[in-house]
Amino acid sequence: MSRNSLAPGADTAPAPDGGSGAGRGPLARLASAAGRWEFLILLLIIATCVAGQAISPQFLSRASFMTGSLDFTEVALMALPLTLIIITAEIDLSVASVLALSSALMAWLWMHDVPMVPTVLLCLVAGALCGLFNGLLVTKGGLPSLAVTIGTLALFRGLAYVVIGDQSVTDFPTAWTDWGFGMVGTSILPNTIAVFAVLAVIFAVLLHGSRFGRSIYAIGANQEAAYFSGIKVKRIKLILFVISGVVSALAGVIISLRNSTAAANVGQGFELTAIAAVVLGGVSIFGGRGTVGGVVLALFLLAAIQKALSLSESISTAWIQVVTGALLIGSVLGPNLVSRMNEARARARMRGDAQARPPTTSQEEAV
């Protein structure tokens, strides 16, 4: 596929002179930018905002922004480490179950009079151990991450019910729960979204501006070649699974504080929404391609769609899952169709060039 085609994670084509595009005109640069997957997502966000405002005058209000962003915080957090894992051509389906286990453990510790700071730290440690368990099975055990994390999806959720059962805890300290749905100063930015923003910047720098990030892309593009080039493939994958566990556990703490309730049944289905955001954001499910920026835009799009549908009085909330699934299928199917079309055009162009080329004489052949 050509690099400037409309495909997830595709980069703009290099300038003809081999530079960064400085010698190209503004129209050429605009056309190149319009060919990026992120540009298409941005257009969809604008269209969703227009449609959402038409559905309900409350869509673009401050209260709508606050509730919509809060409701999507945990999915957004889990999507960040999933982005890196999927770029390496692996997957982690257990993220929502780690979230639930963290919430259940938080409830159990608080019921047993453990202070909040050690409680939160122990939840993060538990998340790291869950990620380590997944990573060891994948890297040391040589098992496919899809099978492993399907198993741990059930295992960790089951452990959450073992820890707390059907109970829920709602008597967390007011200072902590107030933070869970509070704002940064006098702004309209929720505290939890500020946490996501900080982590998004960290993950973006890690992926796009470090040697570690370049290794992630290399592993996803060709794991065997990455190994023979000296990249510690297994170590990097193990680190990514541990990071995924820690961030998922953090999401479990945040959802417990935000809802003022910790229980084992929280976050059901969140893993599919997080994966949908990652793939819709331009990360190739086959690995080796994608950006954190694209995933952040996809999260905004999904949050906007969810809020618009929830504000509608005539549209069932069940359509949220329908639209999410359709976008996930479209984000995988669309680029494949574009790739096939580009390849077909390239083959047709090659055949045309071959037919247009004048036949060589026998003397020229001899020379």
pLDDT in single tens digits along all 367 residues of the chain? 333 344 444 443 334 344 444 555 554 554 455 457 788 889 989 998 888 888 888 887 777 777 777 778 999 999 999 999 999 999 999 999 999 999 999 999 999 999 999 999 999 999 999 999 999 999 999 999 999 999 999 999 999 999 999 888 988 999 999 898 888 887 778 899 999 999 999 999 999 999 999 999 999 999 999 999 999 999 999 999 999 999 999 999 999 999 999 999 999 989 988 998 999 898 988 899 999 999 999 999 988 888 888 777 767 667 777 877 787 787 777 667 766 777 888 888 888 777 777 665 554 555 4
Residues in CB range of 340: below 8 A, 6 or more apart: none
d(CA 104, CA 239): 25
DSSP assignment, residue 190? B
d(CA 190, CA 55): 25
Residue 37: C-alpha distances to residues 4, 34, 107, 294 (Å): 10, 8, 42, 8
d(CA 20, CA 258): 45
The pTM of this model reads 0.83
* Residue of 149, 162, 168 lying closest to 96 (CA atoms): 149
For 205-265, give the DSSP string.
HHHHSSHHHHHHHHHHH-HHHHHHTT--HHHHHHHHHHHHHHHHHHHHHHHHHHHT-EETT
| Inter-axis angle of helices 73-87 and 191-208, nearest 10 | 10
Residue 221: C-alpha distances to residues 12, 87, 101, 218 (Å): 19, 8, 33, 5
